[in-house]
């Protein structure tokens, strides 16, 4: 943008300073030895402030990520109703510690799941609600307890550690009666396989069929069951798996095995399935040729007269316990990043000059520091405000010649 004002146009220097100041332009006045006076003005510095915020936010994010990697820890736990756990690594199903975190640094607390409620609409979950009781142990050994209504995205905070509700599932309750009439009741969590909460799991009874008179233990008389839990079984179809996650007609589909479960070899194995290696080696033999389906209150009878009774179904909550000191820092960095981006997207830097030459002529000029289509119009408005007699050229005028 460049204009040479007509000789008769009154462009007062004092008015120029006042107009630019009123419109929040930063100005600088330069007077040259030959009598030339130049007022330089610039606007849009907020864009540079945004750039500074943006680059500062990157530092915040990096520091937060580093702090989280070094000082954070987490643990995941499946917790059935009326069960409790305490905050130590041995009681977590899965856990991870930062490089600077020692197991002894974990806060001392215990959580009990008193009741769990899941609401479903049209076969999909709409709300999870867990009533929990918690106890904390202070550095001096003092114990404090409380109750909390734990929901999704509504975590329980204990000493800077958040307890999140991240999922739920079903726990099958069964009772095994061995050949001597001794009973064992097992509460076994099942892992969901699909959105309808059709779930898989296993029941393992290594300490059964022990002669009560002699105490003799037969290692080959251990019993295990591979099982599928169907929350809503529809016996009018040939399909085993249901389509409704609610407990309307729960059944267990069972495959029984007897022999050596392989639990005494000291090797880790899944609690949700029978050891396939024991089956392949012949140390576990399948008892029933076909999968047997039983409902609540029903029993499966094995060839040796022992039984497995399906007592009922409980619910469990999937809890994640997490301490992440870098999280607030990363959040602050993300907020700064957004605050820095907004000026960069919305604010345009531009410059404006007005020069009084010794021969009495007055020139104005403008420079766009970014893409800004309205530069000519804005500069013409400024010039007209400084020099009221100035008439901007019409849209048909070739401004490149002015």
Residue 111: exposed, middle, or buried by beta-carbon count in 10 A (0-12, 13-18, 19+)?
buried
Residues 82-96 pLDDT 10s:
999 999 999 999 999
- Give residue 399's pLDDT: 44
Rounded to whole angstroms, the Cα distance separating 110 from 106 reads 12
Highest mean pLDDT (candidates 229-233, 238-242, 287-291): 229-233
Range from 247-256, 270-279, 291-300, 382-391 carrying the lowest mean pLDDT: 382-391
Rounded to whole angstroms, the Cα distance separating 173 from 222 reads 19
- Give residue 148's pLDDT: 96
Residues 90-129 pLDDT 10s:
999 999 999 999 988 899 999 999 999 988 888 788 889 9
- Give residue 185's pLDDT: 97
Domain boundaries, the chain: 2-44+348-386, 73-323
> Given a cut of 70, is residue 396 above it in pLDDT?
no
- Give residue 395's pLDDT: 58
Range from 43-52, 78-87, 177-186, 249-258 carrying the lowest mean pLDDT: 43-52
- Band of residue 188 on the pLDDT scale cut at 50, 70, 90: very high
Give the residue-averaged pLDDT of 154-164: 93
- Give residue 400's pLDDT: 42
Contact between 163 and 323 under an 8 Å Cβ cutoff? The reply is no
Strand order in the sheet with 2-4: 2-4, 362-368, 350-356, 37-43, 26-31
Contact between 291 and 238 under an 8 Å Cβ cutoff? The reply is no
Contact between 390 and 9 under an 8 Å Cβ cutoff? The reply is yes
The CATH classification of domain 2-44+348-386, taken from the options 3.90.550.10, 3.30.310.10, 3.30.420.480, 3.10.20.90: 3.30.310.10
> Given a cut of 50, is residue 50 above it in pLDDT?
yes
Highest mean pLDDT (candidates 37-41, 263-267, 357-361): 37-41
* Percent of the chain whose predicted confidence (pLDDT) is above 90: 64
DSSP per-residue letters across 237-250: SS-SS-S--S-SB-
> Given a cut of 80, is residue 302 above it in pLDDT?
yes
- Give residue 394's pLDDT: 63
- Give residue 397's pLDDT: 46
Rounded to whole angstroms, the Cα distance separating 250 from 240 reads 11
Give the residue-averaged pLDDT of 235-248: 91
> Given a cut of 80, is residue 247 above it in pLDDT?
yes
Residues 141-150 pLDDT 10s:
788 899 999 9
Give the residue-averaged pLDDT of 186-212: 94
Q: pTM higher than 0.85, yes or no?
A: no
**Nearest 10 degrees: CA dihedral of 87, 93, 99, 100?**
0
- Looking at per-residue pLDDT, the higher value among 348 and 352 belongs to 352
- Give residue 65's pLDDT: 93
- Band of residue 74 on the pLDDT scale cut at 50, 70, 90: very high
Look over the chain and give the mean of its residue pLDDT values, rounded to a whole number: 90
Between 13-22 and 375-386, two packed helices, what is the crossing angle to 10 degrees?
130
């Amino acid at each position: 943008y460049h204009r040479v004002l007509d000789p008769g146009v009154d462009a007062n220097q004092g008015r120029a300073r006042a107009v630019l100041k009123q419109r929040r332009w930063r100005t600088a006045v330069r007077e040259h030895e030959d009598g030339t006076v130049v007022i330089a003005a610039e606007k849009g510095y907020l864009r540079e402030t945004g750039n500074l915020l943006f680059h500062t936010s990157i530092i915040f994010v990096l520091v937060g990520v580093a702090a989280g990697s070094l000082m954070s820890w987490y643990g995941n736990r499946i917790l059935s109703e009326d069960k409790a756990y305490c905050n130590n690594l041995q009681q977590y199903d899965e856990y991870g510690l930062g490089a600077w975190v020692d197991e002894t640094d974990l806060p001392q607390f215990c959580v009990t799941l008193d009741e769990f409620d899941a609401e479903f609409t049209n076969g999909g979950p709409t709300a999870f609600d867990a009533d929990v009781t918690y106890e904390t142990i202070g550095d001096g050994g003092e114990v404090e307890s409380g109750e909390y209504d734990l929901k999704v995205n509504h975590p329980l905070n204990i000493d800077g550690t958040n307890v999140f509700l991240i999922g739920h599932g079903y726990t099958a309750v069964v009772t095994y009666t061995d050949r001597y009439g001794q009973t064992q009741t097992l509460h076994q969590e099942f892992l969901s396989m699909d959105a309808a909460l059709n779930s898989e799991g296993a029941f393992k009874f290594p300490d059964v069929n022990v002669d009560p008179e002699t105490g003799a233990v037969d290692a080959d008389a251990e019993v295990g069951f591979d099982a599928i839990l169907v929350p809503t079984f529809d016996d009018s179809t040939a399909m085993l798996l249901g389509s409704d996650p609610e407990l309307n007609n729960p059944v267990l589909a069972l495959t029984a095995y007897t022999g050596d479960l392989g639990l005494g070899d000291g090797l880790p194995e899944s609690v949700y399935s029978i050891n396939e290696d024991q089956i392949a080696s012949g140390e576990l033999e399948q008892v029933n040729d076909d999968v047997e389906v039983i409902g609540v209150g029903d029993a499966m009878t094995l060839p040796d007269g022992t039984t497995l009774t399906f007592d009922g179904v409980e619910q469990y909550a999937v809890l994640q316990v997490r301490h992440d000191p870098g999280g607030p820092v990363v959040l602050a960095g993300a907020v700064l990043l957004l605050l820095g981006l907004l000026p960069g997207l919305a604010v345009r830097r531009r410059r404006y000059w007005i020069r009084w030459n010794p021969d009495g002529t007055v020139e104005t000029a403008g420079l766009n520091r970014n893409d800004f289509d309205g530069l000519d119009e804005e500069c013409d408005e400024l010039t007209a405000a400084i020099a009221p007699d100035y008439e901007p050229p019409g849209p048909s005028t070739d401004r490149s010649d002015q």
